[in-house]
Structure 1
Amino acid sequence: MKINGKVKLAIAALVLAGCAFGGYHYYEGQQAAKQTAAVETTKAVRMDMKSTVSATGTIQPVDSVEVSSKITARLKSVLVKENDKVTAGQTVATLDAKDYEAKRDQAQYKVTNTQAEYDRISYLYSIGADTQKQLEDAQMNYDTAVSALAQAESDASETSIIAPIDGTVVGEPKTVGTMAVATSDNPTVIMRIADLSRKQIKAKVDETDIGNVKVGQQATFTVDTYTDKTFTARVTKISQTDTSNSWDTSSSSSSSSSSSSASVIYYYVTLDVDDPEDLLLPAMTARVEINTADTPDALAVPISVLKTDANGSYVVVRNADGSQENRYVTTGIYSDEYVEILSGLEEGEDIVSTYTAKKKSSSSSSGSRRGGPMF
């Protein structure tokens, strides 16, 4: 039986179609296998989570004073030097007292004279020889002289400079012969005394982190001079205003206000320092890590797998059959690399950690081209 040409063509067409169909499914299977093999996953695991806030600050003594004079005079003697230990009430320097002693003597002489004058006029008034007005004037002159004597005696006593607190002399005191000027706005600082047994850090915390910082939280910090040692501290105070008081527009010009609004806002956080070995010195730079949250045995995934959209945070979960789904989750604390998952995931579930870009059609690709036609 002969097969005509049309039948042969039909059979050939069917064979080709079958080959093409099989080849297409084989290709699709291979591509799917490659895609499945290319997907990288990580698991939701349990770990101890810790959230910290980083800040930089300066080591300072908790108590320190600038010792100045209440009167203007030259330094006659300085009885302590840098690093000396002093106690409250100890005389640490003296001023030249000659001028103030002379003023005190003059005031005492005037008191003596005005008292004698008052006694004389009082007697004359008692026998009718002087008037009430003369007696009142004599009383006023005497009272004024007594007040002037009290001021002169006070000034003379201020020539001894007394340490107001227990502590250590930090820095070199002024030298003998220096004029100690007493002014309300800029007095001469004769020396500085600090209690170095109690230290603190005044750190600057970014406004994005300040809400997580609370009084009583523990912290660790390092300083450059002891690179292999970690110190501990505790938050004791959080400033209620930023470091530059940028909110107070009444005390700044419009230009400075606009400049402040464009800059980063920081708040001062004070931490008491544990330094039993007395290693830390004032003005050292402290790099602080404040422990703001601590959750043991928390369910966590890497931050890199967490995604967000208008509905919230989610991760891509790969099911047992290889299919993928977007799973919305509730997050807790963040560490440097991981985020705590409060709900939405179970321990051991596979989370897709690779990113696959969506393929663009030729029309959308050409539609995204910018500029004029190419010649």
Structure 2
Amino acid sequence: MWYAFKRPAGATGPATALVTHRDLSATVTATGTIKAMVGAEVKVGSRIPGRVEQLAVQVGDRVKTGQVIARLEQDDLHAAVEKARADLAADEARLATVRNGARAQEIQSAEAAFRQAEANRLLAQVNLDRYRQLYQDGGIALQVVDTAARDYDVAVAQVHNTREQLSLIREKYTVEDLRYAEAQVQQARAALRIAEANLGYATITAPMGGVVASVSTQQGETVTSGSAAAQAPTFVTIIDLNRLQVDAYVDETDIGKVHVAQEATFTVDAFPDQEFTGKATAIYPKALIQQNVVTYDVVIAIDNREGLLRPDMTANTTILVAKREKVLAVPNQAVRREDGERVAFVQEGNRFVRHPIKTGWKDKNYTEVVSGLKEGDRVVVGEVGNARVQARESVPPGAK
């Protein structure tokens, strides 16, 4: 702030100022840095290894959410998807077979074999009974009876075997077989999803809109990938210039005056004649200590719709910590201390009269007057000197 003094011709008196109503404000100044907000700067990379087939952006390009940034070679990835689909089809066919069980022709054939075996057993039993009777009557030798008995045992075994075969065919697959086939299908489906996901990863897109801040690869280069995000290769860095903030580093002696939602103004060296505005949104509780100087990071949200500001610019910040509107005020130079009280010298004609005053709020240029003066009074802002010397007029900024 400054004062313009009007010297009437021949005037030699002290400078004066008009007592007026004005707004008073208290501020805290700090130096800060423009940075991207959390989430406004992203590093975009590849989740799979491969050769860069296409690089679609350069530094300074504006991109939209979902816009293609780069593509990797995809021939092997397409083949992996096709193989996974074929494996799934084979496992689904196997599951259908297990669920359907044996075919009707297989069951009919097994039933016919069982009936044939049962008929053979009945015939062998009849022959054995007949030969035993003939042997008792002396009509045949014992050897014939033994042969008939052997044939009967074979027929009985055949019946047992065909019965087991029929049972196995009717219940061809167990519950465990069904569960295994279902698990194979689920595994094949998961493998297909992984193959399709890897194919999707070969097309790298912008996760948000913004400006390409850096490009760290080139077309034709082979990239690798890591298991951790920190190891993944970065293709480009994207910054949303509409989501910037100022990190103002406020001295520990002033941090107690700063609160969230306070308004702030700042300038940058790139545009020294332009003042930008913002509002405090956060105060970091942890101090920053550099060269034994303790500061606290005050985050100030800013409006960069014009696109003039860039990350890492130095911001000379002023935070409005308090404000009083339309109070009666005088320049600080007009308030004096005499005999333990505050006084001001008021011009009355060509004399200067001492007035005791009560003061209130004060900023770096003006002091609030609670009592002792009225609007329109002229007070001395320089040395009083001889009280009868003609006054020299001082006009504060904005006064008439």
TM-score, normalised relative to structure 2: 0.59
1:87 aligns with 2:130: no
Q: Which of 105, 123, 139 is matched with 2:182 structurally?
A: 139
Alignment partner, residue 331 of structure 1 = 360
The answer to whether the 8 Å contact 2:357/2:373 transfers is no
In 2, Cα distance between equivalents of 1:129 and 1:340: 101
The answer to whether the 8 Å contact 1:201/1:273 transfers is no
Alignment partner, residue 211 of structure 1 = 257
Deviation at 1:330, TM superposition (A): 4.6
The answer to whether the 8 Å contact 1:51/1:294 transfers is no
In 1, Cα distance between equivalents of 2:176 and 2:59: 60
Q: Cα–Cα, structure 1 residues 151 and 344, in superposed 2: closer, same or farther, change >3 Å?
A: same
Deviation at 1:270, TM superposition (A): 1.6
Q: Which of 172, 179, 191 is matched with 2:223 structurally?
A: 179
Deviation at 1:81, TM superposition (A): 0.7
Superposed counterparts of 1:164-175, under 5 Å: 164-175=207-218
The residue type equivalent to 1:105 in the other structure is E
Q: Cα–Cα, structure 1 residues 345 and 220, in superposed 2: closer, same or farther, change >3 Å?
A: same
Q: Cα–Cα, structure 1 residues 189 and 330, in superposed 2: closer, same or farther, change >3 Å?
A: farther
In 2, Cα distance between equivalents of 1:132 and 1:156: 37
Q: Which of 330, 335, 339 is matched with 1:300 structurally?
A: 330
In 2, Cα distance between equivalents of 1:285 and 1:322: 49
Q: Cα–Cα, structure 1 residues 191 and 283, in superposed 2: closer, same or farther, change >3 Å?
A: same
Superposed counterparts of 1:54-133, under 5 Å: 54-60=29-35, 63-124=40-101, 127-133=170-176
Q: Which of 243, 265, 272 is matched with 2:302 structurally?
A: 272
Deviation at 1:149, TM superposition (A): 1.0
The answer to whether the 8 Å contact 1:84/1:169 transfers is yes
RMSD: 3.9
In 2, Cα distance between equivalents of 1:79 and 1:91: 7
Secondary structure of 2:329's counterpart equals: strand
In 2, Cα distance between equivalents of 1:121 and 1:78: 50
Q: Percent identical across equivalent pairs?
A: 24
Q: How many residues align?
A: 289
Secondary structure of 2:311's counterpart equals: coil
Once the two structures are superposed, residues 240-268 of structure 1 have per-residue CA deviations (whole angstroms, 9 ceiling, x without a partner) of: 433xx35xxxxxxxxx9xx79x7524132
In 1, Cα distance between equivalents of 2:305 and 2:341: 45
Alignment partner, residue 275 of structure 2 = 231
The answer to whether the 8 Å contact 2:68/2:203 transfers is yes
1:283 aligns with 2:312: yes
Q: Which of 11, 21, 27 is matched with 1:52 structurally?
A: 27
Once the two structures are superposed, residues 255-303 of structure 1 have per-residue CA deviations (whole angstroms, 9 ceiling, x without a partner) of: x9xx79x752413222323553x43333211212234425345313427
The residue type equivalent to 1:146 in the other structure is R
Deviation at 1:323, TM superposition (A): 11
Comparing 190-199 with 281-290, which one deviates more in the overlay?
A: 190-199
Q: Cα–Cα, structure 1 residues 195 and 136, in superposed 2: closer, same or farther, change >3 Å?
A: same
The answer to whether the 8 Å contact 1:315/1:351 transfers is no
Alignment partner, residue 358 of structure 1 = none
In 2, Cα distance between equivalents of 1:84 and 1:287: 29
Structure 1 regions of 5+ residues with no counterpart?
Answer: 1-39, 247-255, 308-312, 355-375
Q: Cα–Cα, structure 1 residues 328 and 301, in superposed 2: closer, same or farther, change >3 Å?
A: same
Deviation at 1:79, TM superposition (A): 0.9
Alignment partner, residue 373 of structure 2 = 346
The answer to whether the 8 Å contact 1:220/1:230 transfers is no
Comparing 78-87 with 266-275, which one deviates more in the overlay?
A: 266-275
Superposed counterparts of 1:38-49, under 5 Å: 45-46=19-20, 48=22, 49=24
Secondary structure of 2:208's counterpart equals: coil
The answer to whether the 8 Å contact 2:267/2:275 transfers is yes
In 2, Cα distance between equivalents of 1:266 and 1:306: 36
The answer to whether the 8 Å contact 1:122/1:135 transfers is yes
Structure 2 regions of 5+ residues with no counterpart?
Answer: 1-13, 103-168, 384-400
Q: Cα–Cα, structure 1 residues 351 and 97, in superposed 2: closer, same or farther, change >3 Å?
A: same
In 2, Cα distance between equivalents of 1:297 and 1:323: 23
Q: Which has the higher contact order (CA 8 A, sep 6+)?
A: 2
Alignment partner, residue 151 of structure 1 = 194
Q: Cα–Cα, structure 1 residues 193 and 41, in superposed 2: closer, same or farther, change >3 Å?
A: same
Q: Which of 234, 243, 246 is matched with 1:189 structurally?
A: 234
The answer to whether the 8 Å contact 1:68/1:190 transfers is yes
The answer to whether the 8 Å contact 1:231/1:274 transfers is no
In 2, Cα distance between equivalents of 1:282 and 1:109: 51
Secondary structure of 1:145's counterpart equals: helix
In 2, Cα distance between equivalents of 1:353 and 1:198: 49
In 1, Cα distance between equivalents of 2:216 and 2:182: 47
In 1, Cα distance between equivalents of 2:260 and 2:275: 19
In 1, Cα distance between equivalents of 2:352 and 2:210: 71
In 1, Cα distance between equivalents of 2:231 and 2:380: 65
